[in-house]
Structure 1
Amino acid sequence: MAQQKPVERHSGVSLWRQIADRIRVSIADGEFRETGRLPPAFDLADRFGVNRHTVRAALAFLAEEGLVESIQGHGTVIVGGRQLTLPISKRTRFSAGLGDQASSVATRLLNSSELPAPAEVASLLQIAPERPVIEVEEAGYVDGRPVSCSQHFFPADRFPDIARHIAATGSITRAFAACGLPDYLRHSTEVSARHADARERELMKLSPGAIVLETRAIDTDLDGRPVQCSRTRFSADRISLRMTA
């Protein structure tokens, strides 16, 4: 393996994080697809111009992310390098959209609260400013790896128990059904890309400089009344978005 340009020692980003980022990019680019595993630590140390202790710290971080696994007799095996695709359509559903690409898809409720609707949320939900809304924060996981984090707002007058149902079912779709709404439609989705902030890096175990895809969406019932507005951030190296009719 040819030696690469050495990592930057005075960049403000630790060497092991820089190496983890470079290895992650190489995996995504398919560099190790033929063997399905990374080179030995001493080869990686030579490649990046660091000692093996630094390389092992980078590999431990990638293992914590679920990207690689150290297997006795097989070296460091790549187990999570593929990028999944979430279709964005009139009936966008996190679990259904990713379910056939993974063994397990799950969401976890992190926080929920009732509060007066901020002006932007009130406008999106077409309710009067300061009317009560339920705010829910979630994290999404695919095969145990964190891939997204999101905020959702629901009209509290219509869905006072939505947070409880989300916690019980792990699904906004099933929570809506429990609240008497069996179906709903995606009205609009706006997508942008940017660097992850500190909270997003913490929730999705991202490195400094990681990119997230942010969607801002409105869902309505079948009569066109808004039932939720949401802001979801996806790890760009784990999830791609595909717009469908």
Structure 2
Amino acid sequence: MEQTGEDLMERRSGVALWRQVADRIRLGISNGTLGEGGRLPPEITLSQQFGVNRHTVRAAISALVQEGVLRAEQGRGTFVESRKRLAYPITTRTRFSTGLKDQTRARRVNLLRHVVEPAPTRVAEALQLEPGAPVHRLETLSEADGRCVSRGTSWFDATRFPGFADVFVETGSITASFARFGVDDYVRRSTLVSARHADAEDLDTLKLSPGAIVLVTIAINDDLDGRPIQFSETHFSADLVELTIET
């Protein structure tokens, strides 16, 4: 038996109907079943397709417009934004500024928060430190041409890199900050990539709407002697960025 749009909506899942509709519109755009010719069907058609009222469809579309997935034009309808995703390369030497250099005009990384804390277990293991050893935790927001591309959390050995956050504020660059401490080059040891729905902090920091997908990378960088110097977790907006693995 074929499922109806109403059957597909999980009305008792605890997830708002408008968010479920937004997810299905986003999926339909991705797989080509919605947005043929760059234009969405009318609200009444979508409400019938998903088995919800027009107010719910309108709320879903409004969220996707705010996120930049759709564009509403008065008197004409709703259109799919055709912005090309940025290709972010994961390489032996992954760098934010150089990785997007040929695709964007301006790039910057802003420090949101900084704290020195005892290393949590996974951080201590990644940086090969004793559990509880002091580490810098830097939370950053990366922008390209005024768009919020990713938010990241990075940890550094506070004993080896004293005052790292102050140096970062001055240089605006992890690479340039490492150079101040005599680390002129470093390489990516490992990168774990996954995808999931954006959490509350992703929504706020990356200016996403509920239901948006983020790509998550967990990475370790080593100096050229093979000593780990950075452990990081970065969340990318999947509607703006695609990750390319280069070997």
RMSD of the TM alignment (CA)?
A: 3.1
C-alpha distance in 1 between matches for 2:173 and 2:209 = 24
1:157 paired with 2:162, answer no
Provide TM-score, normalisation by structure 2.
Answer: 0.79
Judged with a 3 Å threshold, the aligned counterparts in structure 2 of structure 1 residues 106 and 38 are, in CA distance, closer, same or farther, namely: farther
Which position in structure 2 is the counterpart of 1:222? Answer: 224
The structure 2 residue matched to 1:66, chosen from 65, 68, 75, is: 68
1:38 paired with 2:40, answer yes
C-alpha distance in 2 between matches for 1:42 and 1:143 = 36
Q: State the Cα distance separating 1:101 from its structure 2 match.
A: 4.0
Bigger mean CA deviation after superposition, 58-67 or 221-230? 221-230
Q: State the Cα distance separating 1:159 from its structure 2 match.
A: 2.4
Which structure 2 segments of 5+ residues have no match?
none
Judged with a 3 Å threshold, the aligned counterparts in structure 2 of structure 1 residues 150 and 63 are, in CA distance, closer, same or farther, namely: same
The residue correspondences of 1:10-49 to structure 2 (distance < 5 A) are 10-31=12-33, 34-49=36-51
C-alpha distance in 2 between matches for 1:143 and 1:46 = 39
Which structure 1 segments of 5+ residues have no match?
none
The count of residues paired between Structure 1 and Structure 2 equals: 242
C-alpha distance in 2 between matches for 1:73 and 1:105 = 36
Provide TM-score, normalisation by structure 1.
Answer: 0.80
Which position in structure 2 is the counterpart of 1:126? Answer: 128
The residue correspondences of 1:91-240 to structure 2 (distance < 5 A) are 91-102=93-104, 105-142=107-144, 144-194=146-196, 196-204=198-206, 205=208, 207-208=210-211, 212-236=214-238, 238-240=240-242
C-alpha distance in 2 between matches for 1:137 and 1:57 = 32
1:5 paired with 2:5, answer yes
- Letter of the structure 2 residue corresponding to residue 42 of structure 1: I
**Do the aligned partners of 1:28 and 1:82 also contact (CA within 8 Å) in 2?**
no
C-alpha distance in 2 between matches for 1:167 and 1:37 = 44
Judged with a 3 Å threshold, the aligned counterparts in structure 2 of structure 1 residues 27 and 88 are, in CA distance, closer, same or farther, namely: same
Bigger mean CA deviation after superposition, 135-144 or 214-223? 135-144
**Do the aligned partners of 1:66 and 1:80 also contact (CA within 8 Å) in 2?**
no
Deviations 1:208-242 (A, max 9, x none): 5x654432211122333322111223345554333
- Letter of the structure 2 residue corresponding to residue 190 of structure 1: L
Q: State the Cα distance separating 1:127 from its structure 2 match.
A: 3.4
Judged with a 3 Å threshold, the aligned counterparts in structure 2 of structure 1 residues 212 and 10 are, in CA distance, closer, same or farther, namely: same
